[in-house]
Amino acid sequence: MTNQGVPARLLLNRMEILNASKKIVITGASSGLGKAMAESLLERGYEVWGTSRRLDRLPQRPRFHPVVLDLESDCSIAEAAEQIEREAGSIAILINNAGNGVFGAMESFPIEAWDQQWRVLVRGPYFFLRQMLPLLRKNKSATVIQVTSLAARFPIPMMGPYSMGKAALSTLTQSLQIESENGQIRFIDLQPGDIQSDFNQAMAISEALNQREKSILEKIEADMRSAPDSKIVTEAVIQIIEGKDYPPRIAVGDLFQSKIAPILLRLVPRSWLNWGIRKYYGI
């Protein structure tokens, strides 16, 4: 039983009915955060269009509509947008979540890998968002959640282009917040810290690593293993979607990453922070 003695299942049924008409697009719904968001939003009654580069990585479930999307390809983005327009007509929420990382030193990062990171983290999400805007504008009010990263504010060593890409997506979101005329579309910059997912397994390594680089990678992998699970991100997403007021930028993660680190950023000189980051990663 829950509040006022109403059984939880009955409350959920009511919520499912209320949310049934709400159409949501989630990019990168085949694993990690995107998959967890899709599952939890489906449970709450929403209708979800979820993307992957491969159809066989997406579930077959009622109210889930699989879409093929490769953010590196303009053609794939246009085809995905056409399919969503044809099937959904309009959408209330877009969660720009898909992304990946390439590990490598800034001084020798291969330019092709740099281009790839820019396409997946910035150009692709921007182009896809542009295609989705007319569908979002068909609603009286709509929400766009851009999944950036705390790395936008705290660059991760050996993940320079990833951190740059997330910072660019974060600034892009701020530009949209400022330019958005009547607030018909809310743009939210959601910045996760370390959250357990398949991100590290999918991460490409740009070249053979030396001992120092290997130990940085090990530290990154250890952090991911002890990170909170995706539930805290899905809970934040539900609050953004179903709550009324929400800050335009929100950090989600463990206590240090989501609360203490952003305060340090305001109070502590950058040189001290850089020293702390170097120490933390054993550089």
Binding segment for ligand NAP (CB under 6 A), chosen from 29-37, 205-213, 254-262, 270-278, is 29-37
Residue 160 corresponds to which tokens in the numbers above? 């320079």
The single-letter code of the amino acid at 100 is N
26 binds ligand NAP (CB under 6 A): no
66 binds ligand NAP (CB under 6 A): no
Nearest-CA neighbor of 37 among 173, 251, 192, 187?
192
Q: Could you say which of 34, 45, 104, 155 contacts ligand NAP (CB under 6 A)?
A: 34
Q: Could you say which of 12, 31, 40, 212 contacts ligand NAP (CB under 6 A)?
A: 31
Q: Could you say which of 19, 45, 52, 160 contacts ligand NAP (CB under 6 A)?
A: 52
Hey, which residues between 84 and 143 contact ligand NAP (CB under 6 A)? 97-100, 120
Q: How do strand 249-252 and strand 204-205 relate by DSSP bridges?
A: unpaired
DSSP E strands in the chain: the ranges are 23-26, 47-52, 64-68, 93-96, 102-103, 142-147, 185-192, 204-205, 249-252
SS3 89: coil
Binding segment for ligand NAP (CB under 6 A), chosen from 64-72, 176-184, 204-212, 234-242, is 64-72
Report, in Å, the least distance between residue 157 CB and ligand NAP.
15
Instruction: Tell me whether residue 30 or residue 143 sits nearer to ligand NAP (CB atom).
Output: 30
Backbone phi, psi, residue 95, to 5°: -115, 105
Report, in Å, the least distance between residue 2 CB and ligand NAP.
30
Calculate the CA dihedral of residues 212, 214, 216, 222 and round it to 10 degrees.
Answer: -150
State the DSSP string of 120-181.
IIIIHHHHHHHHHHHHHTTSSSEEEEEE--GGGTSPPTTBHHHHHHHHHHHHHHHHHHHH-S
30 binds ligand NAP (CB under 6 A): yes
Hey, which residues between 156 and 215 contact ligand NAP (CB under 6 A)? 192, 194-195, 197-199, 202
For tokens 């039983």, what's the residue? 1
154 binds ligand NAP (CB under 6 A): no
Instruction: Tell me whether residue 120 or residue 135 sits nearer to ligand NAP (CB atom).
Output: 120
Binding segment for ligand NAP (CB under 6 A), chosen from 48-56, 59-67, 129-137, 241-249, is 48-56
The single-letter code of the amino acid at 256 is F
Report, in Å, the least distance between residue 68 CB and ligand NAP.
9
Residue nearest to ligand NAP as judged by C-beta position: 32
Instruction: Tell me whether residue 18 or residue 55 sits nearer to ligand NAP (CB atom).
Output: 55
Nearest-CA neighbor of 147 among 54, 21, 39, 35?
35
Per CB under 6 A, residues contacting ligand NAP are: 28-34, 52-54, 57, 69-72, 97-100, 120, 147, 149, 192, 194-195, 197-199, 202
